[in-house]
Amino acid sequence: MFTDFGALLKNILHDYATFNWIMTGSDMFACEGTSAGVHNDGAWRAGVTHGGRWCDVFEVRDFLIQRCFIYLDPDYAGLDTARYPWFPRRAAIRPTDG
């Protein structure tokens, strides 16, 4: 995933100061965060485009991470708005019919 997805990114910056840590009191915890940067499809910033929000869920055993699940919206540039009527309409680059 990182090789394929990473090749689509020109740069990325995580906003470490606003990470939200969710602790369960057991061996699971999560971290929510936002990012900004430039994707091959265009620039994004959480709060401006719908891309840039993510959540990682960790399972820890014996003080070591056993599993990590990464949840993110791969439409970082915010071009996939046609299927979501609650997003503001923007001109999207689409292949022509025919």
Segment 38-87, tens digit of pLDDT: 888 778 887 776 678 889 999 999 999 999 999 987 777 677 777 777 66
Cα gap 23→31, rounded to integer Å: 9
With a cut of 70, say whether residue 14 has pLDDT above it: yes
Cα gap 98→92, rounded to integer Å: 18
* CA distances to 42, 61, 74 from 4, in Å: 17, 29, 11
- Provide mean pLDDT across the span 10-37: 90
- Domain chopping of the chain, boundaries: 2-72
Q: What's the pLDDT score for residue 52? A: 80
Q: What's the pLDDT score for residue 2? A: 65
Q: What's the pLDDT score for residue 10? A: 85
Q: What's the pLDDT score for residue 92? A: 46
